A = this chain, B = another copy of it.
Amino acid sequence: MEIIKGGVTAAKGFEAASTAAGIKYKDRTDMALIYSQAPCVAAGTFTKNVVKAAPVKWDQQVVGSGAKVQAVVVNSGIANACTGAEGFGYCKDTAVAAAKALDIPEDGVLIGSTGVIGKQMPIDKLTAGIDVLAGKKNDTLENGTEAAKAIMTTDTCEKELAAVIEVGGKQVTIGGMAKGSGMIHPNMCTMLAFVTTDAVIAKETLQKALSGDVDDTYNMISVDGDTSTNDTVILLANGLAGNPEIVYGSPEYEEFALALHAINEYLAKKIAGDGEGATALFEVKAVGCESVEQAKTLAKSIVCSNLTKTAIAGHDANWGRILCAMGYSGAQFDPEKVDLFFESKAGKIQIIENGTAVDYSEAEATKILSEPEVTAIADVKMGAEEAVAWGCDLTHGYIEINADYRS
Protein backbone atom coordinates (compact mmCIF):
# COMPACT_ATOMS: atom_id res chain seq x y z
CA MET A 1 0.00 0.00 0.00
CA GLU A 2 1.16 3.45 -0.85
CA ILE A 3 -0.34 6.67 0.52
CA ILE A 4 -0.80 9.24 -2.24
CA LYS A 5 -2.10 12.77 -2.61
CA GLY A 6 -5.77 13.15 -3.28
CA GLY A 7 -9.25 12.50 -2.02
CA VAL A 8 -12.53 11.43 -3.59
CA THR A 9 -11.25 11.99 -7.15
CA ALA A 10 -8.09 9.92 -6.73
CA ALA A 11 -9.73 6.68 -7.88
CA LYS A 12 -10.39 6.17 -11.59
CA GLY A 13 -13.63 7.60 -12.96
CA PHE A 14 -14.61 9.72 -9.97
CA GLU A 15 -15.31 13.41 -10.46
CA ALA A 16 -16.15 16.17 -8.01
CA ALA A 17 -17.24 19.78 -7.85
CA SER A 18 -18.14 22.44 -5.36
CA THR A 19 -20.19 25.62 -5.44
CA ALA A 20 -21.41 28.48 -3.30
CA ALA A 21 -25.16 27.90 -3.37
CA GLY A 22 -25.91 30.41 -0.62
CA ILE A 23 -27.83 27.86 1.47
CA LYS A 24 -26.44 29.26 4.69
CA TYR A 25 -23.04 30.80 4.19
CA LYS A 26 -22.63 33.94 2.12
CA ASP A 27 -18.96 33.99 1.24
CA ARG A 28 -17.91 30.39 0.78
CA THR A 29 -18.75 27.14 -0.97
CA ASP A 30 -21.44 25.06 0.73
CA MET A 31 -22.31 22.33 -1.77
CA ALA A 32 -20.28 19.43 -3.12
CA LEU A 33 -20.88 16.73 -5.68
CA ILE A 34 -19.21 13.36 -6.06
CA TYR A 35 -19.93 11.73 -9.41
CA SER A 36 -18.80 8.41 -10.82
CA GLN A 37 -18.53 7.80 -14.54
CA ALA A 38 -19.67 4.22 -13.92
CA PRO A 39 -22.40 2.98 -11.55
CA CYS A 40 -21.04 1.99 -8.12
CA VAL A 41 -21.84 -0.61 -5.52
CA ALA A 42 -22.41 1.31 -2.32
CA ALA A 43 -21.77 0.58 1.35
CA GLY A 44 -22.80 2.84 4.20
CA THR A 45 -22.96 3.15 7.95
CA PHE A 46 -25.25 5.66 9.62
CA THR A 47 -25.96 7.34 12.94
CA LYS A 48 -27.59 5.25 15.67
CA ASN A 49 -29.37 8.34 16.97
CA VAL A 50 -33.14 7.71 17.21
CA VAL A 51 -33.54 11.13 15.62
CA LYS A 52 -32.25 10.62 12.08
CA ALA A 53 -31.93 13.40 9.54
CA ALA A 54 -33.97 13.04 6.35
CA PRO A 55 -30.87 12.39 4.15
CA VAL A 56 -29.83 9.58 6.49
CA LYS A 57 -33.19 7.92 5.99
CA TRP A 58 -32.90 8.50 2.24
CA ASP A 59 -29.41 7.00 2.03
CA GLN A 60 -30.36 4.01 4.18
CA GLN A 61 -33.16 3.34 1.72
CA VAL A 62 -30.90 3.62 -1.35
CA VAL A 63 -28.01 1.61 0.10
CA GLY A 64 -30.43 -0.96 1.52
CA SER A 65 -32.18 -1.41 -1.83
CA GLY A 66 -28.98 -2.47 -3.54
CA ALA A 67 -29.40 0.15 -6.27
CA LYS A 68 -26.25 1.21 -8.08
CA VAL A 69 -25.10 4.67 -7.05
CA GLN A 70 -23.54 7.28 -9.29
CA ALA A 71 -23.69 10.55 -7.37
CA VAL A 72 -23.54 12.03 -3.89
CA VAL A 73 -24.91 15.54 -3.31
CA VAL A 74 -23.79 17.21 -0.08
CA ASN A 75 -24.66 20.54 1.50
CA SER A 76 -23.05 22.04 4.60
CA GLY A 77 -25.59 24.71 5.50
CA ILE A 78 -28.67 22.85 6.69
CA ALA A 79 -28.80 19.44 8.35
CA ASN A 80 -32.35 18.68 7.20
CA ALA A 81 -32.94 16.95 10.55
CA CYS A 82 -36.21 17.26 12.52
CA THR A 83 -37.90 18.51 9.39
CA GLY A 84 -40.66 15.89 9.09
CA ALA A 85 -42.25 14.80 5.83
CA GLU A 86 -41.44 18.14 4.19
CA GLY A 87 -37.73 17.58 4.84
CA PHE A 88 -37.81 14.07 3.42
CA GLY A 89 -39.62 15.42 0.37
CA TYR A 90 -36.65 17.68 -0.30
CA CYS A 91 -34.43 14.59 -0.47
CA LYS A 92 -36.63 13.25 -3.24
CA ASP A 93 -36.47 16.66 -4.97
CA THR A 94 -32.68 16.65 -4.64
CA ALA A 95 -32.42 13.21 -6.20
CA VAL A 96 -34.76 14.16 -9.03
CA ALA A 97 -32.76 17.30 -9.79
CA ALA A 98 -29.41 15.46 -9.67
CA ALA A 99 -30.74 12.60 -11.79
CA LYS A 100 -31.87 15.07 -14.42
CA ALA A 101 -28.70 17.15 -14.37
CA LEU A 102 -26.41 14.10 -14.49
CA ASP A 103 -28.62 11.82 -16.60
CA ILE A 104 -28.64 9.01 -14.06
CA PRO A 105 -31.47 7.18 -12.23
CA GLU A 106 -33.02 8.89 -9.19
CA ASP A 107 -32.21 5.96 -6.93
CA GLY A 108 -28.55 6.36 -7.91
CA VAL A 109 -28.26 9.57 -5.88
CA LEU A 110 -27.10 9.68 -2.26
CA ILE A 111 -27.44 12.80 -0.14
CA GLY A 112 -25.29 14.14 2.68
CA SER A 113 -26.09 17.13 4.84
CA THR A 114 -24.72 18.90 7.87
CA GLY A 115 -25.50 22.19 9.54
CA VAL A 116 -28.41 23.65 11.42
CA ILE A 117 -31.03 21.23 12.74
CA GLY A 118 -34.72 22.01 12.28
CA LYS A 119 -34.58 24.47 9.39
CA GLN A 120 -36.25 23.50 6.12
CA MET A 121 -34.11 23.31 3.00
CA PRO A 122 -34.25 26.24 0.54
CA ILE A 123 -34.81 23.72 -2.22
CA ASP A 124 -34.56 26.22 -5.09
CA LYS A 125 -31.04 27.18 -4.04
CA LEU A 126 -30.15 23.52 -3.67
CA THR A 127 -31.42 22.48 -7.11
CA ALA A 128 -29.80 25.54 -8.71
CA GLY A 129 -26.57 24.44 -7.00
CA ILE A 130 -26.91 20.95 -8.46
CA ASP A 131 -27.02 22.36 -11.98
CA VAL A 132 -23.87 24.36 -11.33
CA LEU A 133 -22.12 21.30 -9.84
CA ALA A 134 -23.08 19.14 -12.82
CA GLY A 135 -21.52 21.70 -15.15
CA LYS A 136 -18.29 22.09 -13.14
CA LYS A 137 -17.47 18.50 -12.21
CA ASN A 138 -14.19 16.93 -13.29
CA ASP A 139 -11.72 14.31 -12.08
CA THR A 140 -8.84 16.57 -11.00
CA LEU A 141 -7.36 16.36 -7.52
CA GLU A 142 -8.08 20.06 -7.19
CA ASN A 143 -11.81 19.49 -7.58
CA GLY A 144 -11.61 16.75 -4.97
CA THR A 145 -9.98 19.17 -2.56
CA GLU A 146 -12.54 21.86 -3.32
CA ALA A 147 -15.31 19.36 -2.56
CA ALA A 148 -13.61 18.54 0.77
CA LYS A 149 -13.60 22.25 1.57
CA ALA A 150 -17.25 22.75 0.61
CA ILE A 151 -18.52 20.16 3.11
CA MET A 152 -16.80 21.87 6.09
CA THR A 153 -18.85 23.64 8.77
CA THR A 154 -16.85 24.63 11.87
CA ASP A 155 -13.91 22.57 10.56
CA THR A 156 -10.72 24.59 10.25
CA CYS A 157 -9.18 22.51 7.45
CA GLU A 158 -10.26 20.10 4.76
CA LYS A 159 -9.63 16.42 5.35
CA GLU A 160 -8.71 14.03 2.55
CA LEU A 161 -6.34 11.18 1.80
CA ALA A 162 -5.84 8.48 -0.82
CA ALA A 163 -3.99 5.20 -1.11
CA VAL A 164 -3.02 2.77 -3.87
CA ILE A 165 -2.72 -1.00 -3.73
CA GLU A 166 -2.07 -3.61 -6.41
CA VAL A 167 -4.62 -6.35 -7.05
CA GLY A 168 -3.85 -8.94 -9.70
CA GLY A 169 -1.49 -6.62 -11.53
CA LYS A 170 -3.99 -3.78 -11.56
CA GLN A 171 -3.64 -0.55 -9.62
CA VAL A 172 -6.57 -0.07 -7.24
CA THR A 173 -7.06 3.35 -5.67
CA ILE A 174 -9.07 4.37 -2.61
CA GLY A 175 -9.58 7.98 -1.61
CA GLY A 176 -11.78 9.79 0.83
CA MET A 177 -12.83 13.05 2.34
CA ALA A 178 -14.54 13.85 5.65
CA LYS A 179 -15.88 16.70 7.68
CA GLY A 180 -16.65 16.90 11.37
CA SER A 181 -15.76 19.16 14.19
CA GLY A 182 -18.66 19.42 16.61
CA MET A 183 -21.47 17.07 17.64
CA ILE A 184 -18.91 14.31 17.41
CA HIS A 185 -19.18 11.21 19.53
CA PRO A 186 -18.45 7.54 18.96
CA ASN A 187 -21.71 5.96 17.94
CA MET A 188 -21.52 5.08 14.32
CA CYS A 189 -19.37 7.71 12.69
CA THR A 190 -20.54 11.06 13.98
CA MET A 191 -19.57 13.06 10.95
CA LEU A 192 -19.68 12.86 7.16
CA ALA A 193 -17.12 10.75 5.33
CA PHE A 194 -17.17 9.79 1.67
CA VAL A 195 -14.71 7.23 0.37
CA THR A 196 -14.44 6.20 -3.27
CA THR A 197 -12.58 3.35 -4.90
CA ASP A 198 -12.22 1.97 -8.43
CA ALA A 199 -11.92 -1.57 -7.09
CA VAL A 200 -13.96 -4.43 -8.49
CA ILE A 201 -15.64 -5.74 -5.37
CA ALA A 202 -19.12 -7.04 -4.50
CA LYS A 203 -21.51 -4.85 -2.53
CA GLU A 204 -21.64 -7.29 0.42
CA THR A 205 -17.85 -7.48 0.60
CA LEU A 206 -17.61 -3.70 0.46
CA GLN A 207 -20.12 -3.34 3.31
CA LYS A 208 -18.22 -5.90 5.40
CA ALA A 209 -14.96 -4.03 4.89
CA LEU A 210 -16.58 -0.73 5.87
CA SER A 211 -18.61 -1.94 8.85
CA GLY A 212 -15.64 -3.79 10.27
CA ASP A 213 -13.42 -0.76 10.08
CA VAL A 214 -15.81 1.95 11.30
CA ASP A 215 -15.81 0.46 14.80
CA ASP A 216 -12.05 0.98 15.08
CA THR A 217 -11.85 4.39 13.44
CA TYR A 218 -14.80 6.81 13.30
CA ASN A 219 -16.49 5.15 16.27
CA MET A 220 -13.40 5.71 18.41
CA ILE A 221 -13.37 9.48 18.14
CA SER A 222 -15.15 12.03 20.30
CA VAL A 223 -15.17 15.78 20.34
CA ASP A 224 -18.06 16.58 22.61
CA GLY A 225 -19.95 13.43 23.41
CA ASP A 226 -22.89 14.37 21.22
CA THR A 227 -23.89 11.80 18.60
CA SER A 228 -25.21 13.67 15.61
CA THR A 229 -28.47 13.06 13.79
CA ASN A 230 -26.65 13.12 10.44
CA ASP A 231 -23.62 10.86 10.79
CA THR A 232 -22.89 9.08 7.57
CA VAL A 233 -20.00 7.14 6.06
CA ILE A 234 -20.41 6.20 2.41
CA LEU A 235 -18.06 3.94 0.47
CA LEU A 236 -18.51 3.69 -3.31
CA ALA A 237 -16.78 1.24 -5.66
CA ASN A 238 -17.13 1.70 -9.43
CA GLY A 239 -14.98 -1.20 -10.62
CA LEU A 240 -13.04 0.84 -13.18
CA ALA A 241 -9.66 -0.47 -11.96
CA GLY A 242 -10.45 -3.70 -13.80
CA ASN A 243 -8.86 -5.87 -11.12
CA PRO A 244 -9.91 -9.48 -10.51
CA GLU A 245 -12.77 -9.22 -7.99
CA ILE A 246 -11.65 -8.77 -4.42
CA VAL A 247 -13.11 -11.72 -2.51
CA TYR A 248 -13.82 -11.62 1.22
CA GLY A 249 -11.06 -13.27 3.26
CA SER A 250 -8.49 -13.32 0.45
CA PRO A 251 -5.03 -11.73 0.78
CA GLU A 252 -6.23 -9.05 -1.65
CA TYR A 253 -9.16 -8.34 0.63
CA GLU A 254 -6.78 -7.95 3.58
CA GLU A 255 -4.71 -5.49 1.54
CA PHE A 256 -7.83 -3.57 0.52
CA ALA A 257 -9.08 -3.50 4.13
CA LEU A 258 -5.69 -2.22 5.27
CA ALA A 259 -5.75 0.64 2.77
CA LEU A 260 -9.34 1.46 3.70
CA HIS A 261 -8.33 1.44 7.35
CA ALA A 262 -5.43 3.80 6.67
CA ILE A 263 -7.78 6.29 5.07
CA ASN A 264 -10.51 5.95 7.68
CA GLU A 265 -8.06 6.24 10.57
CA TYR A 266 -6.42 9.30 9.03
CA LEU A 267 -9.77 11.01 8.46
CA ALA A 268 -11.04 10.06 11.93
CA LYS A 269 -7.90 11.43 13.61
CA LYS A 270 -8.12 14.57 11.50
CA ILE A 271 -11.70 15.09 12.68
CA ALA A 272 -10.75 14.54 16.31
CA GLY A 273 -7.77 16.87 16.13
CA ASP A 274 -9.89 19.49 14.37
CA GLY A 275 -12.56 19.34 17.10
CA GLU A 276 -14.29 22.63 17.75
CA GLY A 277 -11.85 24.93 19.52
CA ALA A 278 -9.22 22.20 19.80
CA THR A 279 -5.54 23.01 20.14
CA ALA A 280 -4.39 19.40 20.47
CA LEU A 281 -5.21 15.91 19.24
CA PHE A 282 -5.68 13.77 22.35
CA GLU A 283 -4.95 10.09 21.72
CA VAL A 284 -5.69 7.48 24.38
CA LYS A 285 -4.40 3.91 24.33
CA ALA A 286 -5.83 1.39 26.76
CA VAL A 287 -3.44 -1.59 26.89
CA GLY A 288 -3.03 -4.78 28.91
CA CYS A 289 -6.78 -5.34 28.73
CA GLU A 290 -8.59 -8.67 28.94
CA SER A 291 -10.83 -7.85 25.98
CA VAL A 292 -11.01 -5.36 23.12
CA GLU A 293 -14.39 -4.26 24.45
CA GLN A 294 -12.88 -3.41 27.84
CA ALA A 295 -10.03 -1.55 26.13
CA LYS A 296 -12.45 0.47 24.00
CA THR A 297 -14.64 1.32 27.00
CA LEU A 298 -11.65 2.58 28.99
CA ALA A 299 -10.09 4.53 26.11
CA LYS A 300 -13.37 6.18 25.17
CA SER A 301 -14.23 7.11 28.74
CA ILE A 302 -10.89 8.90 29.14
CA VAL A 303 -11.11 10.67 25.81
CA CYS A 304 -14.69 11.82 26.46
CA SER A 305 -14.19 13.32 29.92
CA ASN A 306 -14.57 17.10 30.05
CA LEU A 307 -12.11 17.10 32.94
CA THR A 308 -9.33 15.20 31.14
CA LYS A 309 -9.94 17.36 28.09
CA THR A 310 -9.59 20.62 30.00
CA ALA A 311 -6.47 19.21 31.67
CA ILE A 312 -4.96 18.57 28.22
CA ALA A 313 -5.89 22.15 27.27
CA GLY A 314 -3.92 23.27 30.31
CA HIS A 315 -0.95 20.97 29.53
CA ASP A 316 -1.56 19.59 33.01
CA ALA A 317 -0.58 16.01 33.91
CA ASN A 318 -3.74 15.71 36.00
CA TRP A 319 -3.67 11.92 36.06
CA GLY A 320 -6.28 11.73 38.81
CA ARG A 321 -8.92 12.77 36.31
CA ILE A 322 -7.79 9.99 33.98
CA LEU A 323 -8.02 7.33 36.68
CA CYS A 324 -11.39 8.78 37.67
CA ALA A 325 -12.70 8.54 34.11
CA MET A 326 -11.51 4.93 33.91
CA GLY A 327 -13.28 4.26 37.18
CA TYR A 328 -16.72 5.41 36.04
CA SER A 329 -16.42 3.92 32.56
CA GLY A 330 -18.28 0.78 33.52
CA ALA A 331 -15.23 -1.42 32.87
CA GLN A 332 -13.94 -3.48 35.77
CA PHE A 333 -10.25 -3.31 36.72
CA ASP A 334 -8.03 -3.01 39.77
CA PRO A 335 -7.15 0.68 40.26
CA GLU A 336 -4.10 -0.35 42.28
CA LYS A 337 -2.56 -2.10 39.27
CA VAL A 338 -2.86 0.74 36.76
CA ASP A 339 0.23 2.20 35.08
CA LEU A 340 -0.11 5.47 33.19
CA PHE A 341 2.19 7.17 30.70
CA PHE A 342 2.06 10.37 28.65
CA GLU A 343 3.80 10.48 25.28
CA SER A 344 4.33 12.95 22.46
CA LYS A 345 7.05 14.07 20.08
CA ALA A 346 8.71 15.66 23.13
CA GLY A 347 9.17 12.28 24.84
CA LYS A 348 7.50 9.70 27.06
CA ILE A 349 7.02 9.78 30.81
CA GLN A 350 5.55 7.40 33.38
CA ILE A 351 3.16 9.13 35.76
CA ILE A 352 1.51 6.30 37.70
CA GLU A 353 2.76 2.88 38.71
CA ASN A 354 0.31 0.48 40.34
CA GLY A 355 -2.29 3.16 40.90
CA THR A 356 -0.18 5.80 42.63
CA ALA A 357 2.05 8.56 41.31
CA VAL A 358 5.74 7.92 40.68
CA ASP A 359 8.22 10.69 41.38
CA TYR A 360 8.02 12.24 37.91
CA SER A 361 9.13 15.67 36.78
CA GLU A 362 6.14 17.99 36.48
CA ALA A 363 8.13 20.22 34.10
CA GLU A 364 8.94 17.26 31.85
CA ALA A 365 5.27 16.16 31.85
CA THR A 366 4.10 19.66 30.94
CA LYS A 367 6.64 19.77 28.11
CA ILE A 368 5.32 16.47 26.73
CA LEU A 369 1.71 17.64 27.08
CA SER A 370 2.39 20.92 25.26
CA GLU A 371 2.72 19.26 21.84
CA PRO A 372 -0.12 19.43 19.27
CA GLU A 373 -0.54 15.64 19.49
CA VAL A 374 -0.43 13.99 22.91
CA THR A 375 -1.03 10.39 23.90
CA ALA A 376 -2.07 8.89 27.24
CA ILE A 377 -1.34 5.19 27.68
CA ALA A 378 -3.19 3.34 30.45
CA ASP A 379 -2.11 -0.22 31.26
CA VAL A 380 -4.51 -2.24 33.44
CA LYS A 381 -2.30 -5.38 33.36
CA MET A 382 -5.10 -7.88 32.82
CA GLY A 383 -4.32 -9.24 29.38
CA ALA A 384 -2.99 -8.51 25.90
CA GLU A 385 -5.86 -6.65 24.23
CA GLU A 386 -5.77 -2.95 23.46
CA ALA A 387 -7.66 -0.10 21.80
CA VAL A 388 -7.07 3.47 20.73
CA ALA A 389 -9.48 6.41 20.95
CA TRP A 390 -9.03 9.95 19.69
CA GLY A 391 -10.38 13.23 20.90
CA CYS A 392 -9.20 16.74 21.55
CA ASP A 393 -8.77 19.24 24.32
CA LEU A 394 -11.69 21.35 25.55
CA THR A 395 -11.00 25.05 25.28
CA HIS A 396 -12.51 28.50 25.24
CA GLY A 397 -12.82 28.08 21.50
CA TYR A 398 -15.43 25.33 21.96
CA ILE A 399 -17.55 27.62 24.13
CA GLU A 400 -17.19 30.49 21.66
CA ILE A 401 -18.30 28.33 18.75
CA ASN A 402 -21.23 26.67 20.52
CA ALA A 403 -22.68 29.24 22.88
CA ASP A 404 -23.83 31.18 19.87
CA TYR A 405 -23.73 28.80 16.90
CA ARG A 406 -27.28 29.00 15.56
CA SER A 407 -27.71 32.75 15.53
Contacts and interface: CB of A to CB of B under 8 A. Distances in A.
Question: Which of A314, A328, A331, A404 counts the most B-chain CB atoms under 10 A from its CB?
Answer: A328
A185 B325 CA distance: 11
B226 A306 contact: yes
Contact of A321 (B226, B335, B352, B407): B226
A332 B50 CA distance: 7
A307 B229 contact: no
A166 to B, nearest CB: 41
A314 B328 CA distance: 30
B118 A305 contact: no
A395 B403 contact: yes
Total copies of this chain within the assembly? 2
Question: Which of A83, A227, A323, A399 counts the most B-chain CB atoms under 10 A from its CB?
Answer: A399
Given A82-B320, A225-B306, A402-B310, A335 B395 contact: no
B407 A327 contact: no
Interface in A319-342: 319-321, 323-329, 331-333, 335-336
A171 interface: no
A228 interface: yes
A406 B316 contact: yes
B307 A118 contact: no
A253 interface: no
A81 to B, nearest CB: 7
Nearest to A304: B225
A208 interface: no
Contacts of A307: 182-183, 224, 226, 402
A347 to B, nearest CB: 20
Nearest to A318: B406
A333 to B, nearest CB: 7
Interface of A: 48-52, 79, 81-84, 86, 116-118, 182-183, 185, 187, 224-229, 304-307, 310-311, 313-314, 316, 318-321, 323-329, 331-333, 335-336, 352, 354-357, 394-396, 398-399, 402-407
27 contacts: A48-B328, A49-B328, A50-B329, A50-B335, A51-B326, A51-B327, A82-B319, A82-B323, A83-B356, A84-B354, A117-B320, A118-B320, A118-B357, A183-B321, A224-B307, A225-B304, A226-B306, A226-B321, A311-B402, A311-B403, A314-B403, A314-B405, A394-B399, A394-B402, A395-B399, A395-B403, A399-B399
